[in-house]
Chain A
Amino acid sequence: SAVISQKPSRDICQRGTSLTIQCQVDSQVTMMFWYRQQPGQSLTLIATANQGSEATYESGFVIDKFPISRPNLTFSTLTVSNLSPEDSSIYLCSHLGGENTEAFFGQGTRLTVV
């Protein structure tokens, strides 16, 4: 399986600013996924990122708030814009490995907005 490296692992940001999270995979993958885990909650899919096309967002998530880049088959970024305390969450990237059967996750980025 491809190894996923995500950074930063945590950050504390001022409201109104933005945070960009990077996700690097050590082999080429077709799809990458970005999830949010709010405090004490389960994971919710934000968007699916395919290389060379615009990300596909789930209901309740919009590009202006969560712009995503996918410049090549090994890298993606998620930006959380115009931060508010409600954005305090863990953000995780994911991809499929093992002949597209196993879904692997990065270690997550813990964001606290003050």
Chain B
Amino acid sequence: GEDVEQSLFLSVREGDSSVINCTYTDSSSTYLYWYKQEPGAGLQLLTYIFSNMDMKQDQRLTVLLNKKDKHLSLRIADTQTGDSAIYFCAERMATDSWGKLQFGAGTQVVVTP
């Protein structure tokens, strides 16, 4: 099975906040990433957080990291229809110096008017 787990689906109303959750298993992970994939497109890096941080904010995006529980979340404020996409979290392990990532299965976010 996968080492990174995400819920598969999230429905949210336009204007509300979205929260996408992710759990990972490697406590030595150095960086954790959030990517967005729109239909037929590649992966867009949204944001990332270093493991010695517990929060990072970037405009409408807020990342929270709970290392004790190995839990990562992405909050999107004022969700818009253009935010409809699949969101992947990924971890980069400390044991890997090359930068390969372990991905979750992705969360399909659907924004309704």
Contact = CB atoms under 8 A, between A and B. Distances in A.
A5 B59 CA distance: 27
Interface string A46-66: 001010000000000000000
Interface of A: 6, 31, 33, 41-45, 48, 50, 90, 92, 94, 96, 100-108, 110
Chain B, interface size: which category? 20 to 34
Nearest to A41: B105
Nearest to A96: B99
Interface in B60-109: 88, 90, 92, 98-101, 103-106
B45 interface: yes
Interface string B24-47: 000000010101000011111100
Given A42-B2, A108-B42, 16 more contacts: A6-B42, A33-B99, A33-B100, A42-B106, A43-B43, A43-B88, A43-B90, A43-B103, A96-B99, A100-B99, A101-B31, A101-B48, A102-B48, A103-B90, A103-B92, A107-B41
A45 B42 contact: no
A103 B33 contact: yes
Given A92-B43, A101-B48, A107-B41, A48 B105 contact: no
A105 B98 CA distance: 15
Contacts of B33: 103
A4 to B, nearest CB: 9
B9 to A, nearest CB: 12
Contacts of B40: 110
11 contacts: A6-B42, A42-B103, A42-B106, A48-B100, A94-B101, A103-B48, A103-B99, A105-B44, A108-B41, A108-B43, A110-B40
A107 B42 contact: yes
A98 to B, nearest CB: 9
Contacts of A104: 45
